[in-house]
């Protein structure tokens, strides 16, 4: 089962990713991104990250992407004229570069990871209790700093986007 | 005994006058300048009386100047009999000249500067004389060269004065180069520059037959001495140095600085006596210079130039003396020369001062009416330099000539001929200036007592100084040479013949001189123009050097290579910068592309060079 | 492979790499600012996946916590970034990043 679910949702994720890059209208790209996030949430569940999966759906897909959609609608962004306004040379060079990038990373990954390891759903659970405990003891400082960061972001966003009176 | 006080007192005078003299009244400047030299002279007298009799060398060690590895050079002063004579001459004659200069420089600008430099000169000369090692002597050597440059170029608004100052310094420098090489060789040979140690080391060395280390060292020392003491081939600066004020000519170029070369050779006698080839070279150079300069002196019209060539000639005599081994005779002549040559120059200065700057003897004449004291003292000096019997010059010059005869008779005969020429030109000058009718346009007058006083004292010394038996005094250091009365009287006789000829040409029958010069036409022109030596040096040495420096060194290397390299680096940097700025295209997507490119490069490096660890 | 077998861990990482590469592609090749931003979010998501994968490998919860922080930062960044985009749109009246190039040399 694990493998089947993996293939299905990995496929959805990749398809949505390609869709995001290829689509002309920003709204279509945004909805593809939502699709990516959803499938990733399932994959997180498979990997035993129940808290992260929930956070992904609630925060990422539920809040951030909604923010994106709001801004797209606010700005009345239309479809681009043509997606790839680059010369053919750059297109091919880009494709080659990307392939090289991917190849390198895959190579490095394959050469270092132990092959005996496998993922089975339910073999290990990262419980929310554990996450909470770790978060408030070992990672307390980053937690507090992050809260300050959010404060800064709020203030910055308000200052930047307000109307001058 | 505080030997250091002897040079330090004039140095303090230099500091006081040099730093504050601009605002001080003339009386204070005089007091400081003359007073410091007077105090120094009194201290010398006190020291010598306390050390009397000076059997062994009295050394004072102050501090270690240079300490580097095995090289150890101290700041040491020492007094022995040779130093004693030099100290008395330098401070005594120096004091008289300082007093004279107060009167001579009365109306000149830069009054405080003159006396500051004069005091500085005394400081360096005393360091030179008191030094107990070659390096300290060299310090004094260079210092007097510097002061000579400063004082010859004293009238610094005049082109010919500053050029003469440059010439004096540069020609001296050539000699100093030889001196430096000699110092290096001495250091290598003996491991030290201390006189006592070097001479002790040299005592054990045999007399060299061919050209050995001692001959090389002494020949190089000779090069230095020819530069400082104006011998062939480096004498050309001294006649030009007459551009300086007359007290400078008297002090530096007659009594003290130019004698430094002779002093240095006498001091290094232990080295020289073991190098016969050098001794002969010294004697021949001295003799040739004496003869050659005397011939030129016979034709000159400027009174200071006559005396300048006379100085070169008399220095040649001193070199002849030390060259044939008569060191004490050479030093004796050094002392008497300081008396009568100093007097000759000071007297010439009094004449020039009385005529308000006139130096050409053709514009003088009949001055006896106006300046009796000057005339009388100059007459005494002329007698002394001619070797008139029983004057100081008689004793000293004949000591040299007798020793020369013992070495090689031909040297004696040429020396006697030169003595005759000396008597001739010196009395020619006297007759031209003081007898006959006054040919000039100024109003001659006698000089004040502050100037005539030293003249009178020096006249007494010129006449009676010969009875100070210097060779006997220096007996422990340099063996005395036997005397030969007949030779002495023979040279005195030739001197009298010279005086007679001068009287004939310039007093009795005046037209005789002009007709004689016309009859030997070309030869006269040659001698009058100093054998065109200056022109030859100019063409052979000076012009090529200047031209070479201008084209090769200045335009080629300095402007082309060095400036080009530095400017080129600037240009190159700008070029590279203008290429690099093309990365800043303003296009965000190109920046993104660069970021990806960079990360790929990093991944390659990490992946294949360092691994994932 | 049998559908019940365990999925090798490396596959998750390769998926993460693919998503990351897609994000880079979108970042370079798209001209609309908002689309570029979304590509950045895609890259962040890919990284999150790899964090959780490694957390599974070590059987520790730390990877989840890193992933959580990444999310928080992404949220803050999205907020401020969109505010900046709004300001740029107000000033330049365009959403094409090629036209915002006055920092040329």
Q: Please state which of the ranges B159-168, B203-212, B380-389 shows the lowest mean pLDDT.
A: B203-212
Closest CA to C54 of C7, C10, C5: C10
- ipTM of predicted complex: 0.88
Torsion of CA C34, C37, C41, C44, to 10 degrees: 170
pLDDT digits (tens, 9 = 90+) for B249-298: 888 877 788 888 899 999 998 888 888 888 999 999 999 999 999 988 88
**Which residue of C31, C102, C105 is in closest CB contact with B582?**
C105
Mutate to test the interface with B, among A85, A86, A87, A104 (most CBs of B within 10 A): A104
Please report the residues numbered 60 through 99 in chain A whose beta carbons come closer than 8 angstroms to any beta carbon of chain B.
97
Predicted confidence band at B611 (pLDDT cuts at 50, 70, 90)?
low
- The pLDDT of residue B105: 86
**Which residue of A1, A20, A160 is in closest CB contact with C42?**
A20
- The pLDDT of residue B502: 82
pLDDT at B538 over 60: yes
Domains defined for chain C, CATH in brackets:
31-98 (1.10.287.3510)
Q: Where are the domains of chain B?
A: 5-528, 535-610
All residues of chain A having their beta carbon less than 8 Å from the beta carbon of residue C95 are 75, 77
Q: Where are the domains of chain A?
A: 1-81, 86-113, 127-165
All residues of chain B having their beta carbon less than 8 Å from the beta carbon of residue A104 are 600, 603-604, 607
CB B335 within 8 A of CB B468: yes
Which pair of structure tokens corresponds to residue A153? 């972001």
Q: What secondary structure does DSSP assign to B260-298, as a single string?
A: HHHHHHHHTHHHHTT-HHHHHHHHHHHHHHHHHHHHHHT
Residues of chain A with pLDDT under 70: 81-87, 113-117, 165
Residue bearing the bigger pLDDT, B520 or C21: C21
**CB proximity C9 to B under 8 Å:** no
- The pLDDT of residue B48: 87
Radius of gyration of chain A (CA): 20
All residues of chain A having their beta carbon less than 8 Å from the beta carbon of residue C35 are 20, 26, 29
**Which residue of A97, A107, A112 is in closest CB contact with B600?**
A97
CB C38 within 8 A of CB A33: yes
Which pair of structure tokens corresponds to residue A86? 């680059």
Q: State which residue of chain C sits closest to B599, comparing Cα positions.
A: C24
All residues of chain B having their beta carbon less than 8 Å from the beta carbon of residue A100 are 600
pLDDT at B607 over 60: yes
Distance from CA of B599 to the nearest CA of C (A): 11
Which pair of structure tokens corresponds to residue B577? 């910068």
- The pLDDT of residue B319: 92
All residues of chain A having their beta carbon less than 8 Å from the beta carbon of residue B590 are none
Distance from CA of B576 to the nearest CA of A (A): 26
Task: Report DSSP state, residue C96.
Answer: B
Which pair of structure tokens corresponds to residue A31? 């909805």
CATH topology of domain A1-81: 1.20.120
Q: What span, in angstroms and rounded, lies between the C-alpha atoms of A162 and B117?
A: 84
What is the model's pTM? 0.70
Residue bearing the bigger pLDDT, C22 or B485: C22
Interchain proximity A157–C62, CB inside 8 Å? no
Which pair of structure tokens corresponds to residue A39? 């499938």
- The pLDDT of residue C49: 95
Q: State which residue of chain A sits closest to B611, comparing Cα positions.
A: A108
Q: What span, in angstroms and rounded, lies between the C-alpha atoms of B21 and B195?
A: 38
Burial of B62 (0-12, 13-18, 19+ CB in 10 A): exposed
- The pLDDT of residue B576: 92
Phi, psi (deg, nearest 5) at residue B357: 105, 0
């Amino acid at each position: 089962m694990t493998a089947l679910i993996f293939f299905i949702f990995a496929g959805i994720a990749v398809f949505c990713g390609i869709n995001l890059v290829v689509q002309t209208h920003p709204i279509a790209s945004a909805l593809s991104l939502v699709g990516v996030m959803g499938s990733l949430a399932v994959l997180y569940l498979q990997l035993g990250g129940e808290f992260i999966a929930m956070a992904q759906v609630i925060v990422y897909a539920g809040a951030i992407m909604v923010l994106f959609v709001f801004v797209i609608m606010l700005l009345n962004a239309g479809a681009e004229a043509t997606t790839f306004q680059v010369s053919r040379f750059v297109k091919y060079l880009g494709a080659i570069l990307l392939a090289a990038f991917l190849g390198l990373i895959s190579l490095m990954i394959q050469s270092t990871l132990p092959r005996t390891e496998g993922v089975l759903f339910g073999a290990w659970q990262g419980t929310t209790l554990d996450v909470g405990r770790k978060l408030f003891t070992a990672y307390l400082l980053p937690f507090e700093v992050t809260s300050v960061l959010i404060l800064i972001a709020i203030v910055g966003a308000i200052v930047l986007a307000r109307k001058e009176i | 005994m505080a030997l250091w006080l002897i040079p330090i007192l004039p140095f303090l005078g230099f500091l006081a006058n040099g730093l504050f003299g601009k605002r001080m009244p003339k009386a204070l400047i005089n007091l400081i300048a003359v007073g410091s030299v007077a105090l120094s002279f009194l201290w010398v007298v006190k020291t010598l009386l306390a050390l009397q009799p000076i059997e062994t060398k009295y050394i004072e060690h102050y501090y270690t100047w240079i300490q580097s590895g095995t090289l150890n050079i101290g700041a040491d002063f020492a007094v022995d009999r040779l130093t004693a004579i030099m100290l008395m001459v330098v401070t005594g004659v120096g004091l008289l000249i300082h007093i004279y200069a107060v009167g001579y420089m009365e109306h000149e600008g830069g009054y405080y500067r003159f006396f500051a430099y004069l005091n500085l000169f005394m400081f360096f000369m005393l360091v030179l004389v008191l030094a107990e090692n070659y390096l300290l002597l060299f310090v004094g050597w260079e210092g007097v060269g510097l002061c000579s440059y400063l004082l010859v170029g004293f009238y610094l608004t005049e082109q010919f004065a500053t050029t003469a100052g440059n010439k004096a310094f540069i020609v001296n420098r050539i000699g100093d180069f030889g001196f430096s090489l000699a110092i290096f060789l001495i250091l290598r040979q003996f491991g030290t520059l201390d006189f006592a140690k070097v001479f002790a080391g040299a005592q054990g060395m045999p007399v060299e037959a061919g050209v050995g280390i001692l001959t090389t060292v002494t020949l190089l020392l000779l090069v230095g001495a020819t530069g400082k003491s104006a011998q062939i081939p480096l004498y050309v600066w001294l006649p030009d140095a007459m551009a300086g004020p007359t007290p400078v000519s008297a002090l530096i170029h007659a009594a003290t600085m130019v004698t430094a070369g002779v002093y240095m050779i006498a001091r290094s006698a232990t080295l020289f006596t073991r190098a016969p080839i050098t001794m002969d070279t010294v004697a021949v150079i001295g003799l040739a210079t004496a003869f050659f300069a005397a011939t030129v002196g016979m034709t000159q019209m400027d009174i200071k130039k006559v005396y300048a060539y006379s100085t070169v000639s008399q220095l040649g005599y001193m070199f002849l003396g030390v060259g044939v081994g008569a060191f004490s005779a050479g030093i004796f002549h050094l002392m008497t020369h300081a008396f009568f040559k100093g007097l000759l120059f000071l007297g010439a200065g009094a004449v020039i001062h009385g005529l308000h700057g006139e130096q050409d003897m053709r514009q003088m004449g009949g001055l006896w009416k106006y300046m009796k004291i000057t005339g009388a003292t100059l007459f005494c000096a002329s007698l002394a330099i001619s070797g008139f019997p029983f004057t100081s010059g008689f004793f000293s010059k004949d000591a040299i000539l007798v020793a020369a005869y013992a070495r090689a008779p031909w040297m004696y005969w040429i020396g006697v001929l030169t003595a005759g020429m000396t008597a001739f030109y010196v009395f020619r000058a006297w007759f031209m200036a003081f007898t006959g009718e006054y040919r000039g346009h100024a109003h001659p007058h006698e000089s004040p007592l502050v100037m005539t006083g030293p003249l009178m004292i020096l006249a007494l010394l010129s006449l009676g100084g010969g009875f100070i038996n210097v060779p006997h005094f220096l007996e422990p250091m340099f063996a005395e040479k036997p005397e030969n009365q007949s030779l002495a009287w023979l040279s005195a006789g030739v001197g009298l013949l010279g005086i007679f000829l001068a009287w004939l040409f310039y007093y009795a029958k005046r037209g005789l001189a002009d007709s004689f010069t016309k009859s030997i036409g070309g030869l006269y022109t040659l001698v009058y123009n100093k054998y065109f030596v200056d022109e030859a040096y100019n063409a052979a040495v000076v012009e090529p050097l200047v031209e070479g420096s201008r084209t090769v060194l200045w335009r080629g290397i300095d402007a082309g290579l060095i400036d080009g390299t530095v400017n080129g680096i600037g240009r190159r940097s700008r070029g590279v910068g203008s290429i690099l700025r093309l990365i800043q295209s303003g296009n965000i997507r190109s920046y993104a592309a660069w970021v990806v490119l960079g990360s790929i490069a990093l991944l390659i490096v990490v992946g294949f060079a360092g691994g994932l660890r | 492979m049998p559908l019940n077998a365990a999925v090798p861990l490396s596959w998750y990482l390769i998926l993460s790499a693919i998503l990351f590469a897609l994000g880079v592609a979108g970042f370079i090749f798209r001209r609309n600012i908002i689309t570029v931003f979304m590509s950045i979010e895609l890259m962040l998501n890919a990284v999150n996946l790899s964090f959780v994968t490694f957390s599974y490998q070590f059987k520790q919860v730390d990877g989840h916590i890193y992933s959580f922080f990444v999310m928080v930062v992404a949220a803050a960044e999205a907020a401020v970034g969109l505010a900046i985009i709004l300001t740029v749109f107000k000033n330049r009246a365009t959403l094409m990043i090629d036209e915002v190039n006055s920092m040329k040399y």
